[in-house]
Structure 1
Amino acid sequence: MNAGQRSALVTADMYDRSGKRYSLNDPRWRGEDGSPLAVSTLPGLRPEQIDTAERSLWRYHATLPVPAARRVSLGEGCTPMVPVVWAGQRVHFKLEWFNPTSSFKDRGVSVMMSHLAAHGAARVLEDSSGNGGAAVAAYAAAAGIRAKIIVPASTSAAKILQARACGAEIEFVSGTRDEVSDEAIRQSEQIPYASHNWHPMFIQGTKTIAYEMWESLDFTAPDNVVLVAGAGSNIIGCDVAFGELLDAGQIDRRPRLFVGQPEHWATIADTFNGIDPAGRGERVPTIAEGASIAHPVRLPEAVDAIRRSDGAAYAVPEAEIHAAVRALSARGLYAEPTSSVAAATLDHFIAIGEIAPDETTVVVLTGAGLKSAEKMAAVFAEHDDCAHESNSAR
Structure 2
Amino acid sequence: MTHALPDYLCSEDGTRADVRTAPWCCPVCGGPWDLDFTPDPAIPLEPAAGPHSLWRYAPALPLPGAFSVTLSEGHTPMLPLGDRIHAKLDFLMPTLSFKDRGAVMLAELARRLGPARVVADSSGNAGASVAAYCARAGLSCEVFVPEGTSEKKTAQMRAYGAEVRLVPGGREAAARAAGAVADEPGVFYASHVFNPWFLHGTKTYVYEIWEALGGRLPEVLVVPVGNGTLLLGAALAVAELGRRGVRAPALVGVQAEAVSPLAAAFAAGAEEAEPVPSRPTLAEGIAIPAPPRGRQILAAVRKSGGTILTVPDARIREAQRELARRGLFVEPTAAACWAAVGPGAPSDPLQGRTAVLPLCGAGAKSGLAP
State the shift of 1:27 in Å: 4.1
Q: Distance in 2 between matches of 1:283 and 1:200?
A: 25
From 58, 67, 71, the equivalent of 1:74 is: 71
2:201 to 180, 198, 205: 205
Of residues 27, 34, 39, the one that matches 1:38 is 34
Q: Does 1:20 align with 2:15?
A: yes
User: Quick one: distance in 1 between partners of 2:206 and 2:45?
Assistant: 17
Name the CA distance, whole Å, in 2 between partners of 1:340 and 1:266.
Answer: 16
Instruction: Look up the equivalent residue of 1:211 and give its one-letter code.
Output: Y
Of 131, 134, 154 in structure 1, the residue corresponding to residue 148 of structure 2 is 154
Change (3 A) 1:325 1:116: same
CA deviation after TM superposition for structure 1 residue 71, in Å: 3.5
**Equivalent residues of 2:274, 2:290 under 8 A apart:** no
- Is 1:61 the counterpart of 2:70? The answer is no
Q: What is residue 337 of structure 2 aligned with on the other side?
A: 342
Letter of the aligned partner of 1:84 in structure 2?
L
1:325 to 309, 320, 333: 320
Please give the per-residue CA displacement for 1:209-240, whole angstroms capped at 9, x wherever unaligned. 01011111100111001111110011100101
User: Which secondary structure state, in structure 2, belongs to the residue aligned with residue 203 of structure 1?
Assistant: helix
Identify which range, 348-357 or 233-242, moves more after superposition. Answer: 348-357
Matched, 1:230 2:222: no
3-state SS in 2 of match to 1:226: strand
Q: Is 1:354 matched with 2:349? A: yes
Question: 2:24 touches 2:183 (CA, 8 Å); kept in 1?
Answer: no
Post-superposition CA distance 1:327-366 (Å, at most 9, x none):
1111111010010111112138975343133x32101111
2:168 matches 1:174: yes
Which amino acid in structure 1 is aligned with residue 32 of structure 2?
A: P
The amino acid of 1:200's aligned partner reads: P
C-alpha displacement of 1:41: 4.1
Distance (Å, rounded) in 1 between the aligned partners of 2:4 and 2:112: 15
Whether 1:247 and 2:243 are equivalent positions in the alignment is yes
Equivalent in 85, 104, 123 of residue 110 of structure 1: 104
**2:75 corresponds to 1:83:** no
In 2, Cα distance between the equivalents of 1:42 and 1:287? 37
TM-superposed CA distance for 1:138, in Å, is: 0.4
Alignment of 1:291-310 (within 5 A): 291-310=286-305
Q: What is the deviation of 1:47? A: 5.4
Counterpart code for 1:108? G
When structure 1 is superposed on structure 2, of 100-109 and 192-201 the one drifting more is 192-201
CA distance in 2, matches of 1:233, 1:187: 23
**Alpha-carbon distance, 1:271 to partner:** 1.5
Aligned ranges 1:113-132 → 2 under 5 Å: 113-132=107-126
The alignment partner of 1:12 has SS state of coil
Aligned with 1:273: secondary structure? helix
Per-residue deviation, 1:68: 4.6
More helix by share: 1
| C-alpha distance in structure 2 between counterparts of 1:152 and 1:275, whole Å | 32
Computed over aligned residues only, the root mean square deviation of the Cα atoms, in angstroms, reads: 2.3
Please tell me whether the aligned partners of residues 255 and 309 of structure 1 are also in contact (alpha carbons under 8 angstroms): yes
CA distance in 2 between counterparts of 1:222 and 1:41 reads 25
Is the 2:47–2:57 Cα contact (8 Å) retained in structure 1?
yes
Contact persistence 1:197–1:231 (CA under 8 A):
yes
Inter-partner Cα distance in structure 1 for 2:40 and 2:316:
35
Q: CA deviation at 1:50?
A: 2.8
1:81 aligned partner, one-letter code = M
Alignment size in residue pairs: 363
Q: Is the contact between residue 331 and residue 361 of structure 2 (CA under 8 Å) also seen in structure 1?
A: yes
SS class of match (1:287): coil
Q: Residue deviations 1:308-342, cap 9 Å, x none?
A: 11001112111111111111111111010010111
Long gaps (5+) in structure 1: 1-6, 380-394
The 8 Å contact of residues 70 and 118 in structure 1, kept in 2 or not, is answered as no
For 2:268, the equivalent position in structure 1 comes to 274
Q: Percent identity?
A: 38
Amino acid in structure 2 at the alignment position of 1:70: F
Report the Cα offset of residue 82 of structure 1. 0.6
Q: What CA deviation, in whole Å up to 9, does each residue of 1:81-104 have, x standing for no partner?
A: 11122xxx4311011111110000
Match of 2:284 in 1: 289
How far has the Cα of 1:278 moved from its partner?
A: 6.6
How far is the alpha carbon of 1:275 from its aligned partner?
A: 7.8
Query: Contact 2:265–2:274 (CA<8 Å) still a contact in 1?
Result: no
Structure 2 runs not aligned, ≥5 long: none
Deviation at 1:192, TM superposition (A): 2.3
> Any conservation in 2 of the 1:94–1:362 contact (CA below 8 Å)?
yes
Aligned residue for 1:92?
86
Q: Relative to structure 1, is the Cα distance of residues 279 and 209 closer, same or farther in structure 2, using a 3 angstrom cutoff?
A: closer
Residue 70 of structure 1 deviates from its aligned partner by 3.0
Counterpart residue number, 2:134: 140
| Structure 2 CA distance for aligned equivalents of residues 28 and 244 of structure 1 | 27
